[in-house]
Amino acid sequence: MKNIMPAKKQNSLQDCLICEEEKDRGIHLLNYFICVECEKDIVQSETEDRGYKLYLDRLRKVKDTLISMKEDKVH
């Protein structure tokens, strides 16, 4: 057990699905990570906002993964 590092010293940076930057705080959606800043922007965005289409395009990866997982269960 000596080789286990405390959580705060581990490199916990992850690539955000939306902004594609390495961040240390956010949520996991399936196998994807969304940073706190992008999560906030998504929740507050309106359909006419210029970033809205980007959010849809990036989040489509999550939908595609769900569909793939469902198809794998059927076969």
Q: Work out the pLDDT band at 11, boundaries 50, 70, 90.
A: low
Percent of the chain at pLDDT above 70? 84
Residue 5 covered by a domain: no
Task: Print the domain residue range for 67.
Answer: 13-74
* Cα radius of gyration (the chain): 16
Total Cβ atoms within 10 A of residue 38? 23
Residue 62 covered by a domain: yes
DSSP structural state of residue 32? E
Residue 3 covered by a domain: no
Looking at residue 7, its pLDDT comes to 37
Looking at residue 75, its pLDDT comes to 65
Residues 36-67: tens digit of each pLDDT: 999 999 999 999 999 999 999 999 999 999 88
C-alpha–C-alpha distance, residues 15 and 29, integer Å:
13
Q: How many domains does the chain have?
A: 1
